Amino acid sequence: MFVDKATISIKAGDGGDGAVSFHREKYVAAGGPDGGDGGKGGDIVFVPDDSLSTLLDFRYKRKYEAQRGQNGGSKNCTGKNAPDLVIKVPRGTVIKDKETGCIIADISDDGPQIVAHGGKGGKGNARFATPTRQIPKFSKPGFTGEQAEVILELKLLADVGLVGFPNVGKSTLISVVSAAKPKIANYHFTTLSPVLGVVGAGEGNSFVMADIPGLIEGAADGVGLGHEFLRHVERCRLIVHIIDVSGSEGRDPKEDFEVINRELANFSDELAKRPQIVCANKCDMATEEQIAELKKFITDKGYPFYEISAATTQGTKELVNAITEELSKLPPIKRYESEMTLRKLDEHAGEGQRFEITRGDDAVFYVEAPWLEHIIRTVDMDDYMSLQYFQRVLRNTGIIAKLEEMGIDEGDTVNIFGFEFDFVF
């Protein structure tokens, strides 16, 4: 099964928590804090794999989560960094953010690409020791790893894309000019998925040709099969438009040409402007009048016109030479630039993070902030300095300001993940 689109959920690993520990050794007085930092969470890394040609695997596994960094230990031991989670995809896969539709990465070139960064490890209590704070009883939790739902779209890396109505001879053409062996039969939609073939052009030159499943009217709006694969033409440097000049299917070749170009334009304005070569196929079955009439129609529109018979290989060599010459004038295969990055990790715990505050019927202010739960776990509510640190987090992240804006009074109750305290100005 050819699958060229899938939606998955990715989650980079959280950083390990910093440790709260104090040095204890015989004959060593006042050893002091020695809690180590947490390790970094694993990144989500995508790499191209040329042995893959479909996104089928992502239909069965949709959640990918990297490991969490190890927590810090005593004796100033830093937690171990988590390994990266490497995801292999076919070359040419474009990764988009599902929420915004923006491109995150294009997995076309060699080398790995980090799509989601793992969280940094939290600091151990040894980091917070000062001359005036010699026994800090708190540490920082690890930072949360980046996460998102992403859409994987496979856009084939081909120099030339063959387009046209079903049964006009696209599969036959690619089979005679390359080593590709697509299924060929005399019925519509024989080709159910794109087929790639490498075409030799002499003197060490070659190019990649893609046979795109037949388009019909309304394809850009989801009619037929071809609309599913129009995205594969987007990268092509050159479009070769195949027309059945003989009209063996009972259609008008000139009308076929107009319909396919309308569908390309409806799908993408950029695609409609792509250089195009027009091939009149099945010339061995057409009359001279049919060929001459179509040739005039196409050349009047400014397109190069070639007469071929893919079944008998008539004119195919001349076509390959013309394609090679045209490609030499065109820029390389399109690569997509990243339009966004996922949420950047904050250097300050919780700062810049989103939160929501509501007031219940019981007059209690409820603070909802998932990132704050990690911080609460490391705070010793019986330790004055630890409470001071917690108060600084609430103030630096804007929670205190929001509570005041909502009209909180001294003595009102605030609830954060079940921990309740009275508000004091």
Look up the CATH number of domain 356-422: 3.30.300.350
The CATH code belonging to domain 160-327 is 3.40.50.300
- pTM for the full predicted model: 0.71
In Å, what is the CA distance from 389 to each residue of 15, 47, 73, 229, 324?
Answer: 20, 41, 21, 56, 68
Query: What pLDDT digit, counting tens, does each position of 340-364 carry?
Result: 655 444 443 333 467 888 988 888 9
The strand pairing partners of 367, in sequence order, are 357, 416
Tokens of 309: 């018979």
Q: Binning pLDDT at 50, 70 and 90, where does residue 179 land?
A: confident
Q: How confident is the model at residue 180 (pLDDT cuts 50, 70, 90)?
A: low
Cβ distance 44 to 112 under 8 Å?
no
Residues of CATH 3.40.50.300 domain(s) within the chain? Answer: 160-327
Task: Tell me the pLDDT tens digit for each residue of 23-75.
Answer: 888 877 777 899 999 999 999 999 999 888 788 889 889 999 999 999 999 99
Q: Which CATH class is domain 1-154?
A: mainly beta
| Helical spans, DSSP H, in 268-302 | 269-272, 288-300
Confidence class of residue 83 from pLDDT cuts 50, 70 and 90? very high
- Residue whose structure tokens are 């990918």: 64
117-131, 164-178, 257-271, 346-360: the lowest-pLDDT one: 346-360
In the chain, ranges of CATH 3.30.300.350 domains = 356-422
HSE of 136, CA atoms in CB hemisphere, 13 A: 27
Q: Which residues pair with 163 in a beta bridge?
A: 241
Q: Where in the chain is the domain with CATH 2.70.210.12?
A: 1-154
Q: Token digits for 120?
A: 């940094």
Distance CA 259, CA 69 (A): 56
